[in-house]
Amino acid sequence: MSEAQVSQAPRTAPGARSGSFGRGLGAWLAQERVFRLIPFVAVEVIFVLVIIIPFLLTIYISFLKWRANRPFEQAYLSGFGNYQAVLTDPGFWSALGRTFYFAGAAVTLELALGFVLAMLVARTVRGKAAYITILLVPMMIVPVVVGYNFTMLYIDSGPINQLLAPFTQAMGLDPRIRWLSDPVAAQWAVILADVWQWTSLTFLIFLSGFSALPRQLVNAARVMGASAWQIFWRVELPLLRPAIVIAVVIRAMEALKIFDPVVLLTAGGPGTSSQSIAFYLWEQVWVFNKFSFGAAASIILLVIFAVLIFFGIWLLVRSSAAVGRERAA
């Protein structure tokens, strides 16, 4: 109410005195109902120009029959042909399945490691700040550089093979193992690079969760004679649930995008055994120039991800609402 009264004053006063167009425009913009929408409209215009229109164009192209060897003007409508081609392509489905496998394995490891590390750091007194600084470093490193670093570790004359040499030689094997030439090892190379980098993010989320734990509650439980085990399972873990939900949602959505380490470490190989869905689509469009196929695949993928994103956001909203209720109580 009072806000509305305040906004009256600058609107009428200068406008009445001068009546010039510039002042009038300024006064019009200063009204709350206009002013509040300026940034909103500006950002929406950017989103429409950079994201919405390209998607509408892509929907149109996904119904065309068009390849790079022919100019765009000669493309013709082909109905659902591209969608059928994508949905019946075994490469698409196996890349999609593999992406879920990568994300599942990586996120599970990251959650477990990040949780344990955050718990250890939260209970440390000496050197706590130094540990936090160092444990957050991987997050800052460019993923492409992480991919490069891990190729250096995995190559046949790399340090990992040297560390394993006593064991491999005892078994009578050549210690210079080509890890990235083996399908399973290549997949785990990608997963481990992701774990190395993003455990720092789950650690960060859990650390802020641990530092937000109400001390009085934990102390009260201890005074009442609860064991450390009971305090952890019955007091701390339930209080950390919002942090866990946030870590799972954010990391899972990010891990499903996995692309950089695949390109840098394995280039999808050997064969197609470590292709993620992002890599698969990139190869279809940028290497094989199957544009309309890529457009259809991109729309299908958007639909699949929209479902996942809605579910993830729903989980986030629900957990943040729970935090709000707790705070109010």
Contact characters 134-173, another protein, x per CB under 8 A: xxxxxxxxxxxxxxxxxxxx-xxxxx--x--x--------
127: left (phi over 0), alpha (psi -120 to 50) or beta: left
Q: Is 302 an interacting residue with respect to another protein (CB under 8 A)?
A: yes
Residue 292's Cβ-side half-sphere holds a number of Cα atoms within 13 Å equal to: 24
In angstroms, give the least distance from the CB of 105 to another protein: 18
Question: 175 CB contacts (<8 Å, ≥6 apart)?
Answer: 161, 162, 164, 165, 168, 169
If binding is defined by CB under 8 A, does position 237 make contact with another protein?
A: no
Q: Write the Ramachandran bin of 177: left for phi over 0, alpha for psi from -120 to 50, otherwise beta.
A: beta
Q: How far is the CB of 88 from another protein (least distance, A)?
A: 19
Q: Would you count residue 112 as binding another protein (CB under 8 A)? A: no
| Contact flag: residue 36 with another protein (CB under 8 A) | yes
Going by C-alpha positions, the residue among 280, 288, 233 that lies closest to residue 258 is 280
Of these, 83, 131, 188, 232, which contacts another protein (CB under 8 A)?
131
Long-range Cβ contact pairs of 75-78 (< 8 A, separation 24 or more): 75/292, 78/292
Q: Does 312 bind another protein (CB under 8 A)?
A: yes
Please report, as residue ranges, which positions from 264 to 283 form the binding site for another protein (by CB under 8 A). 264, 267, 277-278, 281-282
Query: Binder to another protein among 4, 57, 164, 220 (CB under 8 A)?
Result: 57
Residue 169, amino acid: Q
Q: Does 201 bind another protein (CB under 8 A)?
A: yes
Position 301 contacts another protein (CB under 8 A): yes
**Can residue 96 be called a binding residue for another protein (CB under 8 A)?**
no
Task: Quote the distance between the C-alpha of residue 28 and its chain's center.
Answer: 41
Q: Give me the least distance between CB of 258 and another protein, in Å please.
A: 9
Binding of residue 46 to another protein (CB under 8 A): yes
Site residue total, another protein (CB under 8 A): 115
Grouping H, G, I as helix, E, B as strand and the rest as coil, residue 14 is helix
